[in-house]
Amino acid sequence: MSIRRILKEFKEGKITVEEAEKRIKLFALERMEEMVKLDLGREFRRGIPEIIFAEKKDTDMLIEIILRKLEKTGKVIVSRITGEQLGRIRKLGEKYLLKVSMSGRIAVIKRRNIVEEKKGRIGIVAAGTSDLPIADEVKILAEEFGCETILIVDVGIAGLYRTIEAAKKLLENDVDVAVVIAGMEGALPSIICSLTDIPVIGLPASIGYGLGGRGISALLTMLQTCTPGLAVVNIDNSIGAAAVAALIARRKRR
């Protein structure tokens, strides 16, 4: 049951003030076997739903959590999925709408009758095709956080003309904020930021080799930027980047 339905039943006189208050309190926090607490009210407070972190969780318990949350909210986002968990989650696609990222680390499961309005537009820019799985994660998450997305791929600074073209596309499509993903030296977010008046979130990817491999060089480069207006999240933190971008985009449209 949704908050909207509770309020509708109260308005129609089907339930009392006390019953409505009780249901809302129960809706906001769901306990499972005294071990798991689902923060079902987070989306109403923050605009970003609770995301279930799957890594290290028992597969049976994870599926139980997903089904309980689907019953209450109609939609579940799961991150850091393992191979065994993904196999079980895919079976839920027989009954629910299922979307899985290219990386296989993130999945969205939701009821088929859910209608969601998009408010805000986010540009997602990936330096190279190696960054595409992370860009796909950001895209899926941003859309589930209530925004339209525009994905621009393979625009790394090795061919600077492509970077300039990417900046033009962001401006032409009137995006509210951009998430720019890069590994290796990680210079792309600073350049996009310097060419546009759009808030830019730098997302360092664990792509690279040598001394600064696995995203460390990219992270340090983004943190050391001399271009004002660039914010930076942690290495491979697609959830953090998508959440901040969605909050900015939706607030601007509001």
pLDDT in tens, the chain (254 residues): 567 778 888 899 999 998 888 877 666 555 544 455 666 566 666 778 889 999 999 999 999 999 988 888 889 999 999 999 999 999 999 999 999 999 999 999 999 888 788 889 999 999 989 999 999 999 999 999 999 999 999 998 888 889 999 999 999 999 999 999 999 889 999 999 999 999 999 999 998 888 878 999 999 999 999 999 999 999 999 999 999 999 999 988 88
Helix (H) or strand (E) holding 163: helix 160-172
Closest CA to 140 of 246, 247, 41, 66: 246
For 249, the token pair is 């985009």
Place of tokens 């596309």: 169
167's tokens: 């900046």
For the entire predicted model, the pTM comes to: 0.83
Residue 126, phi then psi, degrees to nearest 5: -115, 130
Give the integer Cα–Cα distance in Å for 144 and 76. 10
Domains of the chain: residue spans and CATH: 3-110 (no CATH), 121-253 (3.40.50.1970)
Which amino acid would we find at residue 14? K
Residue 98 tokens read as 């299922």
Q: Strand (E) positions, 83-147?
A: 97-100, 107-110, 121-126
- Residue 55, CA distances (Å) to 14, 71, 89, 107, 173 in order: 42, 22, 14, 13, 37
